[in-house]
A and B are shown apart, each in its own frame.
Chain A
């Protein structure tokens, strides 16, 4: 049967949907209508493709990480180099799509939430280019962890608002951005950075990110004459993973592996891996999905070394792909991700984002168990320049 999700109301099986206060309903109706109008519009798609090529620098290459493959002594590891995009991560793909939509809807102001700062930087970048006012909400804790990205956003003309409520991380930034949107809904477009939030966001962000998987399919065919045995991507909200998974969903012999943040280890409870930990379903940030929560339904604080994965929920489509067993989800702990980070730096000359290092780590874990002609494709979703302070601190180095 053909995979055809979400349904018209944005549901992926029991997940997804549109769980918002009444104040946002009209705005979401308008967005849904506009997105449906433009998603197949040739002129819109041509403009999107032009920007991806000439501004972002797509297609991003696929690189055979030969030394690491040899080091692991099993499957061949290939990297989809989203880190080489303008702004240094996959986030910009989606921002361009949504900003083009904002322009067509006549909204002069865009807002965004950000965790690691990559989505904030991408939003600020696109806003600068299109002359839109830009406000980015970022948890106060993340502002500290990701100071280079905060400065980047400011250089690009964005206002960065540190969010002091709750756990002061990504989920709180999302709460605050939603509040801004409710208040300024008539002139403001909310650029959500991941495949979560109320319908149509999970679908729209996935569609804009699907360029990653679409390119990979063609590139793998050209390079190897075949598709990989497995595709690996890190999952916080899960936009880079959905982007590379989605075009492969019907390719049933390609394993799809989402790598969540295991933090200090699943057994410690201090992680950000709701799917791997089989957390129960619940409602947060406008959609039903699997959520890290206590027995009373309060959202609990998560932990990950990487700000971009430090989120208690996950995109609803990932929850669905796990339920229907089309994708597998695993967790990689902080220390394993750090090790992969250093290995990739030293053996391939690539400084990966700590988020992406989780996916690399899992590839290095399973490669030795596979034959030498097996192929693993890892979505290297971002570069690690933003993480050098974190890495230095954890290595007891003063910059």
Chain B
């Protein structure tokens, strides 16, 4: 079993839900990524989604786009991101790291080389936003060959047939995008999310994470009641954006503790 599956299994026996914060690697600067990763774990994160900076993050809102821009100002590359994961693994062998990013930096490195290096660095799962399963079967095979979990998105617009075809390629968990729109958008309708999560659950035993639009402890709590994992993206990045390099780790930890208490 992968580190992701193990984590979900362990949480389940404790009757707990997974808390998955997102940060962009290299934001606000490359030297703070490692302290932020460890800080998130200390504050109660069960897994971490680590964003690979990209110049054109089309599926993200302005908050996460600015995080990419801040990281790219330091020329943070995919190779650098893998180095950060490797550094994190020197002190932490239990918390799963899921890389989240766009296809082009991976293709520039080469899919096979990426899969190999990601495994060596200690990555557990990979979510490539602009790789729907039908366009990346070879990549899915390369990831699975390295025992990396390919994570895929499902959306409010994904019908039953689509859910069925997406989960065939997925491992680890599936990520339900709780609203139409980009990351960090507002208004999340919990009832709608609940019925969609139930529909997905009827088709798979994989854990279901919910993200996009989880903004505070209250929404996190509501989402945790219906899903197996709560992903906190833009809200975490906002905290980074509004902090100084001196207090960013403490501020992000405080936010995580608040949400942890609710989940």
Query: Interface residues, chain A, CB within 8 Å of chain B?
Result: 9, 17-23, 25-27, 165-166, 171-172, 175, 178-179, 182-186, 280-286, 291, 293, 295-300
Contacts and interface: CB of A to CB of B under 8 A. Distances in A.
27 contacts: A9-B134, A17-B135, A18-B134, A18-B135, A23-B156, A23-B157, A25-B155, A165-B62, A165-B69, A166-B55, A172-B56, A175-B57, A178-B58, A179-B59, A186-B180, A280-B108, A284-B104, A286-B130, A293-B108, A296-B79, A297-B78, A297-B105, A297-B106, A297-B109, A298-B105, A299-B56, A300-B55
A22 B62 contact: no
Given A21-B58, A22-B153, A299-B56, A183 B77 contact: no
Contacts of B153: 21-23
What 5 pairs across the A-B complex have the smallest Cβ distances? A297-B108, A297-B105, A26-B157, A183-B181, A296-B77
A300 B54 CA distance: 11
Contacts of B56: 166, 171-172, 175, 284-285, 299
B108 A295 contact: yes
B61 A25 contact: no
Contact of B180 (A165, A183, A296): A183
Contacts of B65: 165
B35 interface: no
Given A175-B56, A283-B130, A296-B108, A182 B181 contact: yes
Given A21-B58, A185-B180, 12 more contacts: A17-B135, A22-B154, A22-B155, A22-B177, A25-B132, A283-B130, A285-B56, A286-B130, A297-B106, A298-B72, A298-B105, A300-B55
B92 interface: no
A296 B132 contact: no
Contacts of A299: 55-56, 104
Given A17-B135, A21-B58, A26-B159, A283 B181 contact: no
Nearest to B79: A296
B88 interface: no
B78 A23 contact: no
The interface centre, meaning the residue of B53, B134, B157, B162 with most chain A CB atoms within 10 A of its CB, is B157
Contacts of A286: 130
Contacts of A283: 102-104, 107, 130-131
A26 B77 contact: no
Contacts of B129: 21
B152 interface: yes
Interface string B107-145: 111000000000000000000011110110000000000
Contacts of B135: 17-19
A25 B158 contact: yes
A295 B79 CA distance: 11
A182 B157 CA distance: 10
A17 B109 CA distance: 20
Contacts of A183: 180-182, 185
B58 A285 contact: yes
A299 B57 CA distance: 11
Given A21-B59, A166-B56, A178-B58, A282 B107 contact: yes
A296 B162 CA distance: 33
Interface string B148-181: 0000111111110010001000000000010011
Nearest to A26: B157
B158 A297 contact: no
A75 B187 CA distance: 63
Given A9-B134, A19-B132, A25-B132, A297 B104 contact: yes
Contact of B155 (A23, A175, A285, A291): A23
A297 B77 CA distance: 9
Contacts of B61: 179
A281 to B, nearest CB: 7
Contacts of A165: 62, 65, 69
Contact of B107 (A18, A23, A297): A297
Given A165-B62, A183-B181, A296-B79, A19 B154 contact: no
B59 A19 contact: no
Contacts of B185: 183
The interface centre, meaning the residue of A22, A178, A284 with most chain B CB atoms within 10 A of its CB, is A22
Contacts of A20: 130, 132
B162 A25 contact: yes
B126 to A, nearest CB: 15
B54 A298 contact: yes
Contacts of B159: 26
Contact of B158 (A19, A22, A185): A22
Contacts of A175: 56-58
Nearest to A11: B135
